[in-house]
Structure 1
Amino acid sequence: MNYQQTIEYLFSRLPMFSKVGDSALKNDLLNIRLLCGILGHPEDRFPSVHIAGTNGKGSTSHMLSAIFQSAGYKTGLYTSPHLHDFRERIRINGEMIPEARVVSFTAEMKQHMETIEPSFFELTVAMAFQWFAEEGIDIAIIETGLGGRLDSTNIISPSFPSLPISASTIRIYWATHQR
């Protein structure tokens, strides 16, 4: 499949909350744990800042990403939703994930997707974490989706307490694997 076919497959095959409502939501973190387990737990290979809250998550995520980049850190950024291009969700130092990587990740995970039946969000979170780990980022800024304890981004493990910042909450995580 080329990039356009891959995106069409992802949008048509995977349940999305915007298309099917509550049936796209899972009542546990099993799918994201299974996906990340298949990938060798990429979420454990970089420190993260987790952004949650009612308002301002996207702005806060982008500002923190810019701050870390300005300080010289190789910074991954995961946000949702996207406006124009699916790849806007997953960036390193402002550069979107390459189309070829979206295609190859989907091809590599297709048989697992058929078995696990992850939501669109679960798959994009796993894709982001895998690309961040492969690229050896210094830190990731991760925005929650719908939030709550069952949000797929919660697979990252806390090492520091939550810090209330404006309407958002920032939680800093350090991976168990240190370079």
Structure 2
Amino acid sequence: MLNTAAALAMFWAALSGSGEPQPYEAVVALEAAAVVETPAADEGSVEASALSAEQAELMEGDPDWRASARLYHAGGGGATGNDSLGCRPIAMRTVAVDPRVIPRRTRLFIRETVGLRLADGTRHDGYWYASDTGGAIKGAKIDLYTGHGRGSMRQAQSLNMKTLTIADAGDFQGCPPAWENASN
């Protein structure tokens, strides 16, 4: 994959049309301008003042688990039907776990998902629900359910294959809640 500087150099060369190598200073200046125009904090950051007391405590405390994340979705060979508790999976809330590592029915707080921009424009509050299991989930791995279709994975793609910091935020009964009351 091309890094930012190489991509910008190719872009600059294409604009100049000469096919000649461009001066290093010009490429660096173009890259610096692009970095200034791209807000780095937009992807997943949230100001500390926007967090609830519980969220702030979970962000600051020691994690209970660190797990490698994968994404899964419904349809097209992804998840179909109900999760292992018999519940309908909730997009961007349901997590599949190895129950020998993370018990099912655990309400999880995943730090890296706090502030993640969702498809509807809202921001994720960091709460997920361990209500599913899977044959490929062994040890410190989790699968984050993103919704229906491959396109639903786009919003969480930055989390795929990353090690996430997870705190135990208590237990839940029944099925994972819908978005309206999930963080309560």
Greater relative CO, 1 or 2 (CA 8 Å, sep 6+): 1
Higher helix share: 1
When normalised by structure 2's length, the TM-score is 0.29
Higher Cα radius of gyration: 2
Answer 1 or 2: which has greater strand percent. 2
TM-score under structure 1 length normalisation? 0.30
